[in-house]
Amino acid sequence: MKFLRQNDGNILILSSLSIMIMFGFVGLANDIGMVLWNKGNIQKAADCAAVAASAEMNYAAIDNTTIAAAAKKAAAQNGFTDGHDGVTVTVNNGPMSGPHAGNPQYVEVIVQRAVPTIFLRVFRMDTLSVGARAVSGFGGGQGCVFALGTSGTDIALSGGAIVESTKCQIFDNSSYSKALTVSTGASLSAKQIGIVGGYSANPSSISPTPVTGITAASDPLAYLQEPVVPSSCNGNLNLNGSSNYTLTPGCYSNVSYTGGGSLTFTPGLYIITGNLNLNGSGVVTGNAVTFYITGSVSATNGILKLSAPTSGTHNGILLFQSRSNSTNISFSGGGSSVLEGIFYAPAANLSFTGSNSGAQYYISLVAKSVSFSGQSSLENYSLINGTSPIGAAKLVE
């Protein structure tokens, strides 16, 4: 009987120890569960904060204070407010480590939180630091046609127009029932088509089927500052005949080219306070050029070979018409034409006419309205310029 009593005591001790171990495992499991739960949510907050910071970069002109504020606001909206409840949000522009270290075109966000423990308090570990890191950059997006007008027909295809832009998203902000109109004999193909209002087209003439009732797209270049027009500019230039001409950057009252020779624009910014008319039969070339127009534009030249700069203040901008200028813009290059860049005319109609079946158009269009007549094959400009200002913030790490 004494032996049995001793065994009873051992069982009691073992049972007590087992219960303590079981509660220990429950507590440890709770601590691990809280860490994993926080880790997942912290990573989401870091991702959102990094994307928000990159999206802010254009508008903030890479101002670190504003970028950090955007990141911390996004983190707070996802439940992690810097300086509260053991949370710290660190924003580095550029990243402190990784393949993009030191590059100011990328933003690193690190979110950390001190998570209270239960079981680990026994080992004097009252909290565990849980963190997540995300890096985002601003790169070329898929939107390449933005019709910003809010009424009437903003995108029109007529006269047998054939527009092929299969790697491009098209946005139409008009609430009109025929905001996008594809007339008989015309056709439109794109990657995606979104319209605030509706559309008029034979189902076989438009692909894919547009999504209607979308929220209006914002002006992707609203942050872009207009160049300062000098108090005095060069006078009128009338270039004709069969001569070859070369122009240098600067301010001009009017530039008219109707010749059969050639016209070359050397790299830089051209401010035209009057009219830019490129209506000759020769070749017009310009590499890394930007045209800022306060007057009108008519470019129906035989061959146009124009490309925007790929860096600097006017990165990607080929044509910038003043926001207060509603004068229509007309382009029609021949089959050997090459256009690379962004056409920005937020108050005007941008018209592409003629048969350009052999032309190469790597362009993005931002205008009040856009119209096509003739065959145009448009490729998204961001395909050849990964730093196009019409882009999207993307996670890279």
Instruction: Output the pLDDT for position 60.
Output: 47
CB neighbour list of residue 281: distance below 8 Å, 6 or more residues apart: 259, 260, 301, 302
DSSP string, 70-114: HHHHHHHHTT--TTSTTEEEEEEES-SSSTTTT-TTEEEEEEEEE
- Provide the pLDDT for residue 3: 46
- The three-class DSSP label of residue 359 is coil
Domain spans in the chain, listed from the N-terminal domain onward: 11-139, 143-395
pLDDT tens for each residue of 314-373: 999 999 999 999 999 988 766 778 899 999 999 999 988 766 566 788 899 999 999 988
Q: Closest Cα partner for 380 from 227, 165, 126?
A: 165
Helical spans, DSSP H, in 238-383: none
What confidence score (pLDDT) does residue 321 get?
96
Statement: the pTM of the whole predicted model exceeds 0.75: no
What is the structure's pLDDT at 4? 47
Which tokens sit at 39?
A: 């880790």
Q: Can you tell me the distance from the alpha carbon of 120 to that of 35, in angstroms, rounded to the nearest whole number? A: 12
**Residues near 236 by beta carbon (within 8 Å), at least 6 away in sequence:** 252, 253, 254, 256, 274
Residue found under tokens 């910038």: 320
Q: How far is CA 127 from CA 38, 82, 251, 367, in A?
A: 13, 17, 65, 55
24 membership: H or E segment, kind and range: helix 2-60
What would the pLDDT profile of 327-339 be if each residue is shown by its tens digit?
Answer: 999 887 667 788 9
Cα 173–Cα 177–Cα 179 angle in degrees, nearest 5:
40
Report which of 330, 313, 314 is spatially closest to residue 367, judged by C-alpha positions. Answer: 330
- How many Cβ atoms sit within 10 Å of the Cβ of residue 230? 11
Q: What separation in angstroms does the CA of 350 have from each of 32, 154, 240, 338, 345? A: 59, 10, 26, 17, 7
DSSP 195-254: ESS-EE--GGGEESPPEESPPPPP-TTTTPPPPPPPSS-EEEEEE-TT-EEEE-SEEEEE
Q: Indicate the length of the chain as a whole number.
A: 397
The DSSP secondary-structure symbol of 386 reads T
Q: What is the mean pLDDT of each run of 10 residues along the chain (397 residues)?
A: 51 51 50 61 84 70 75 87 87 87 86 69 62 78 87 90 82 95 90 92 91 87 90 88 91 91 95 91 93 91 89 94 93 80 95 71 93 80 85 71
| Range 205-208 contact pairs with CB under 8 angstroms and sequence separation of 24 or more | 206/182
Question: What is the predicted pLDDT for the residue at 306?
Answer: 94
CB 304 within 8 A of CB 328: no
**What distance in Å separates the CA atoms of residue 38 and residue 87, rounded to the nearest whole number?**
11
Dist CA 122 CA 118 (whole Å): 8
SS3 299: strand
C-alpha 226/C-alpha 224 separation (Å) is 6
DSSP state of 3: H
